[in-house]
Amino acid sequence: MANLGDLPAELINQIVWFLDTDSVFSVRQVNRYLENSSFKCFSTRYFRKKGFLLTSDSLNVLKSIGRNQRLRETVHHLWFNPDCYTSTDSGRPSTPIKDDIGHCMRRSEDHQPWGWKRLKDATGQDPRIVGPYRTGAQDGLSDPTLLFVAMVNAAAEANLELERLYTDAIEIDNIPLQLLPQQQLDIACRELLYLEVNIHKGWFERGLAEDFITSARKADYGEGLLRLLKASPKLRELGLQVFAEVMRGFMLPPSTVNPEEVYDGVPSRTVDQFSWLQAYPHLTLKKLAGKVEMTTLRRVKLEKMTTTPATLEAFLRPSQASLTSIKLRDFRLLSSKESSRPWQSIFSFFRGSCPNLSYILLNRLMYELGTICFVEHPPKPAPYRTYQDPNDYPNPAHFAATDDGFFTKYDHIALEARGRAEVEMKLEQIVDKHWYQQPFYSYEMDEDIWHTDTSDEES
């Protein structure tokens, strides 16, 4: 039997993807050959996307990563947690920073910034949690939105041209024009190539709403995002998520007021599939489809949205000749009187109108009554996984190499195809062979598949 060190470097790297954290570190300590052979897996798995607590030890780790030429090329996404459990005054240990810091940079326990475990062991409290989530009306723009405004304005003032821009959930449609003029957006984003943006509609306290545009006017939904996209004429990749409105979930239709039925002076509310057509995500995408043409797009990622086949096709049509990759996750299309199979026309559009499409990822597509399956008789849903390696993220069982076998277990709700020939073959199959089933609830998905590595692309 061959030893691991006798195998080619490429094969060693693939094997290491399936090991847990302790085993990865053990392999890398055997000898220099195994250390170098496993470097791509090691660096991507632990350094591509990572958070850091704002402590001296954690920031020293970040500085060390920045000084390592090989590691620094791997880093794509950094985020920070405040150190909320260190006293603001060493003489007054009862005054932790969390009492003053509010919602700034908050992350949930789903994330693991560098140093969180050490601080938890020292204080007995989880530093990743900073108070309850906001559920009521806002008294102003959120911290991520203000950070976005400040960053774009600073880039414009310094005449810097952004190439990559990734945002947290921001109220981009509620930003006053005087706070972020179009000229500033045009300067900062004129060379923008890669954009991932999550947006939601702000809900402001009564009396403040007029200070923030599009707080209630449906005709203005999507205006802020439209301004950003028009300022980015060279965009190659767009990742977009439009959250449902505050206090409205994604799985059920929003309720709409029925003025013809009034009880005790209060109009009744109706819930049906057509109310999705009046919701923020659909109206935003409809605005984009009608008012911006992104002819340079090569890759599109859309998730957690509900719309119609006609709107989705209109949004993608300007870039149909240049599109090479399409990823859809938790995406719902609504049926119409003309068709009870809303996804059929979209699959046909991908097959017949996108000649350069060489990658597709379709994960948990939906319609108004349930989930789209790619097998006629899907298996019963697997039990939810509760095990989580406390030293690793995400779960090692789901952090596998991105090959054709990844979705074998869930191929009834997920489909992945690579290369022009395979994409054509899969699309030819699913145009007719997809089934409209009852709801299937979420499966974990390897985020490495959703992410697109652009580090080796020339500007």
d(CA 160, CA 146): 19
Q: What pLDDT band is residue 2 in, cutting at 50, 70 and 90? A: low
Alpha carbons 319 and 354: distance in angstroms, whole number: 9
Taking only the tens place, the pLDDT of each residue in 317-352 is: 999 999 999 999 999 999 888 888 999 999 999 999
95-153 confidence digits (pLDDT tens) = 455 555 544 555 566 677 888 888 788 777 777 765 555 566 777 787 788 888 998 99
Give me the phi and psi of 36, to 5 degrees please: -70, -35
Closest CA to 102 of 82, 127, 86: 82
Q: How far apart are CA 121 and CA 12, in angstroms?
A: 35
Residue 456 has pLDDT above 80, yes or no: no
Is a pLDDT exceeding 80 seen at residue 433?
Answer: yes
Q: Where are the domains of the chain?
A: 1-47, 48-133, 143-450
Checking if the pLDDT of 430 tops 90, the result is yes
Residue 421: pLDDT band with limits 50, 70, 90: very high
Is pLDDT above 90 for 431?
Answer: yes
Higher pLDDT, 288 or 456: 288
272 in Cβ contact with 212 (< 8 Å): no
Over residues 367-396, mean pLDDT: 62
**Least confident interval from 13-22, 57-66, 118-127, 426-435:** 118-127
Are the C-beta atoms of residues 71 and 43 closer than 8 Å to each other?
A: yes
For residue 132, which amino acid is it? P
Across the strands, what pairs with 333?
Answer: 307
217-272 pLDDT, tens digit per residue, is 788 889 999 999 999 999 999 999 998 765 555 555 665 555 555 555 555 555 56
Please give the mean pLDDT across all residues of the chain: 78
